[in-house]
């Protein structure tokens, strides 16, 4: 099977899993929202914030190191990485227990201190998850990883209604998130090929820490970035403004996270295998950058031209004013999608400092948002500040990649430039045409996406050739499947 077909198959599997996972989360939240009070959701959101802050294992991305490292297949490396991951999980649990008391006072949750302490179970489960899932991803076997993500989501969704009816308050949500961590732990061991083992290897553990430490810093920076804008808005603007911003940012960020998760998971093992072949690595990097730029363009153009209709359909007329804000946030997220290419290339080379430096630059966008908020300017300017931060983060990432690994700036800058130009053209077209009917705005968005696809196909010959080659590979595969099916049918009749 060609690499293109492997990428297509992997992306299809990961996309299907993402649909199932997001569908489960949506259904679960809908069930819980109908049974529990708003106050219970507020407590649950606070619990999630605490886990997000102290969860070290996910921030250090030991699984990505197993995928990237040339030693990732070796049993001793896997055992030593299990030790590093377990230590990070134990430390996370300890930090949650230590800070449970001051945090409960800070959030006015003294009566729920026990719930905060129970959250320590989550990093413990994550810390003892089997990393053999990621060793299999090295060989483009994604089913174990998908099962570990999807099975717990389905199980806790099935349990949501009876548990919420039984407990009737925030404890239902607490039990669900604890159960998800436990189910993920068990599933990871059930689908692993190798037995879970630990081995103290100081040299390999130091290698884990060198890889994971910049990602840990980057994780805390991202926490500050994603929570900082909301905290700033909540401190100055009324809660209604925060609600509008939350709706717009959810609509802008959810597709971005899905695209980066799917494309990054599918692309990292392929680029890691080519890390010592400069010509092949650059070809993969260039095609990946162009593909992400195209996805970012389609995303931005859709929200600029059809965002008002989409928001009205999803959230109702009361959030119609969030359309302009969502459009500006989407432009920033398009640059974030684009940053997935240099980030993945750097990770494939074992360079985790790239991500950290890019997020330091991204933090400048939050700094630009401070005077905007203090002056009580339109929230669109907060989104513009975030977009500037995302552009600076992208520039930092590709400059670091050029300096450290010799990859050309134009491999990423040209696709990013075309993406920005098409987004600007969409914004001008919206102001000029001012579509008044929902069907008209959606048709205009579809037309803008078609123009974007055509422009990328014309400008980037490599992306065009790769697309035609993939289509050819798919057609040949279908012919083989049909032919083999006919042969088996004839044999069964005989």
- Token pair in block for residue 281: 């690595």
Structure confidence at residue 82 (pLDDT): 94
Look at the chain and count its residues: 494
Report the range out of 14-23, 94-103, 307-316, 463-472 with the highest average pLDDT.
Answer: 94-103
Distance CA 361, CA 357 (A): 6
| Residues in contact with 366: Cβ distance below 8 Å, sequence separation at least 6, in sequence order | 224, 225, 228, 229, 232, 385, 386, 389
Q: What is the mean pLDDT of residues 6-13?
A: 71
| Residues in contact with 419: Cβ distance below 8 Å, sequence separation at least 6, in sequence order | 293, 294, 296, 297, 300, 334, 338
Structure confidence at residue 100 (pLDDT): 85
- Token pair in block for residue 375: 């002056």
Q: What is the mean pLDDT of residues 141-145?
A: 88
DSSP calls for 29-61:
HHHHHHHS-HHHHHHHHHHHHHHHHH-HHHHHT
Q: What is the mean pLDDT of residues 197-217?
A: 88
Structure confidence at residue 483 (pLDDT): 62
Whether pLDDT at 387 is above 80: yes
Closest CA to 216 of 342, 353, 389, 66: 353
Whether pLDDT at 493 is above 80: no
- Which 8-state DSSP code applies to residue 274? T
200: left (phi over 0), alpha (psi -120 to 50) or beta: beta
In the chain, count H helices and then E strands.
19, 0
Report percent pLDDT > 70 for the chain.
Answer: 90
Per the CB < 8 A criterion, the answer to whether 427 and 338 are in contact is no
Whether pLDDT at 328 is above 70: yes
DSSP calls for 93-112:
HHHHHHHHHHHHHHTT-GGG
| Mean pLDDT lowest among 43-52, 347-356, 451-460 | 43-52
Whether pLDDT at 284 is above 80: yes
Distance CA 140, CA 355 (A): 24
- Which 8-state DSSP code applies to residue 238? -
Residue bearing the bigger pLDDT, 475 or 340: 340
Whether pLDDT at 472 is above 90: no
| Mean pLDDT lowest among 11-15, 23-27, 442-446 | 11-15
Closest CA to 227 of 89, 81, 53, 387: 53
Distance CA 38, CA 183 (A): 27
Q: How confident is the model at residue 147 (pLDDT cuts 50, 70, 90)?
A: very high
Q: What is the mean pLDDT of residues 279-291?
A: 90
Distance CA 66, CA 181 (A): 21
Distance CA 304, CA 194 (A): 49
Per the CB < 8 A criterion, the answer to whether 301 and 454 are in contact is no
Hunting for tokens 């600076």 — which residue is that? Answer: 392
Structure confidence at residue 336 (pLDDT): 93
Distance CA 366, CA 477 (A): 49
Phi, psi of 413 (to 5 degrees): -70, -40
Per the CB < 8 A criterion, the answer to whether 254 and 29 are in contact is no
Per the CB < 8 A criterion, the answer to whether 294 and 453 are in contact is yes
Whether pLDDT at 486 is above 60: no
Hunting for tokens 């985790």 — which residue is that? Answer: 352
Distance CA 217, CA 219 (A): 5
Structure confidence at residue 189 (pLDDT): 94
CA 17 to chain centre: 13
Whether pLDDT at 430 is above 70: yes
How many CB atoms are located within 10 Å of the residue 243 CB?
Answer: 13
Distance CA 399, CA 394 (A): 9
Could you report the per-residue pLDDT of 20-59, keeping only the tens digit for each?
888 888 788 777 767 777 667 667 767 777 887 787 777 7
Residue bearing the bigger pLDDT, 468 or 265: 265
Distance CA 297, CA 305 (A): 12
Hunting for tokens 């959701």 — which residue is that? Answer: 41
Closest CA to 201 of 91, 89, 76: 76
Could you report the per-residue pLDDT of 159-206, keeping only the tens digit for each?
989 988 888 888 888 899 899 999 999 999 999 998 999 989 889 989
Dihedral over alpha carbons 24, 25, 26, 27 (to 10 degrees):
50
Q: How confident is the model at residue 490 (pLDDT cuts 50, 70, 90)?
A: low
Structure confidence at residue 494 (pLDDT): 52
Q: How confident is the model at residue 437 (pLDDT cuts 50, 70, 90)?
A: confident
Distance CA 326, CA 296 (A): 14
- Token pair in block for residue 380: 């669109």
Whether pLDDT at 468 is above 90: no
| Residues in contact with 429: Cβ distance below 8 Å, sequence separation at least 6, in sequence order | 305, 444, 448
Distance CA 63, CA 81 (A): 9
């Amino acid at each position: 099977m060609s690499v293109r077909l492997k990428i297509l198959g992997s992306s299809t599997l990961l996309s299907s899993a993402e649909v199932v996972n997001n569908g489960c989360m949506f259904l679960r939240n809908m069930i819980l929202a109908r049974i529990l009070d708003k106050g219970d959701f507020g407590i649950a959101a606070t619990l999630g914030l605490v886990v997000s802050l102290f969860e070290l294992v996910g921030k250090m991305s030991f699984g990505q190191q197993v995928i990237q490292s040339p030693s990732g297949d070796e049993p001793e490396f896997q055992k030593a990485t299990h030790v590093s991951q377990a230590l990070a999980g134990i430390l996370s649990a300890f930090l949650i227990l230590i800070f449970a008391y001051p945090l409960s006072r800070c959030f006015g949750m003294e009566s729920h201190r026990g719930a905060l302490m129970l959250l320590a179970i989550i990093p413990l489960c994550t810390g003892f998850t089997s990393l053999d899932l990621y060793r299999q991803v090295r060989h483009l076997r994604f089913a174990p990883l998908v099962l570990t993500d999807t099975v717990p989501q389905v199980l806790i969704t099935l349990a949501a209604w009876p548990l919420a009816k039984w407990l009737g308050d925030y404890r239902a949500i607490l039990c669900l998130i604890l159960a998800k961590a436990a189910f993920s732990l068990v599933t990871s061991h059930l689908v692993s090929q190798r037995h879970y083992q630990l081995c103290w290897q100081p040299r390999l553990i130091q290698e884990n820490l060198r890889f994971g430490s910049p990602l840990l810093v980057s994780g805390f920076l991202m926490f500050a970035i994603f929570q900082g804008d909301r905290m700033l808005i909540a401190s100055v603007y009324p809660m209604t403004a925060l609600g509008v911003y939350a709706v717009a940012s959810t609509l802008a960020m959810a597709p971005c996270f899905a695209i980066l998760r799917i494309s990054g998971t599918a692309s990292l093992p392929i680029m890691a295998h080519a890390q010592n072949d400069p010509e092949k690595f650059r070809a993969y990097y260039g095609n990946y950058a162009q593909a992400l730029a195209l996805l970012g363009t389609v995303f931005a153009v859709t929200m600029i031209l059809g965002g008002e209709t989409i928001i009205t359909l999803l959230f109702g007329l009361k959030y119609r004013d969030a359309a302009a804000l969502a459009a500006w946030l989407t432009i920033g997220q398009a640059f974030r999608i684009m940053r997935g290419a240099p980030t993945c290339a750097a990770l494939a080379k074992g360079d985790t400092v790239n991500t950290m430096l890019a997020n330091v630059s991204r933090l400048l966008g939050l700094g630009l948002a401070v005077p905007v908020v203090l002056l009580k300017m339109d929230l669109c300017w907060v989104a513009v500040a975030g977009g500037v931060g995302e552009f600076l983060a992208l520039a930092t990432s590709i400059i670091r990649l050029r300096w450290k690994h010799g990859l050309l700036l134009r491999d990423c800058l040209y696709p990013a430039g075309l993406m920005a130009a098409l987004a600007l053209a969409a914004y001008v077209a919206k102001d000029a045409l001012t579509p008044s009917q929902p069907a008209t705005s959606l048709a205009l968005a579809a037309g803008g996406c078609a123009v974007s696809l055509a422009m990328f196909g014309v400008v980037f010959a490599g992306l065009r050739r790769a697309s035609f080659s993939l289509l050819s590979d798919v057609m040949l595969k279908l012919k083989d499947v049909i032919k083999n099916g006919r042969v088996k049918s004839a044999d069964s009749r005989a």
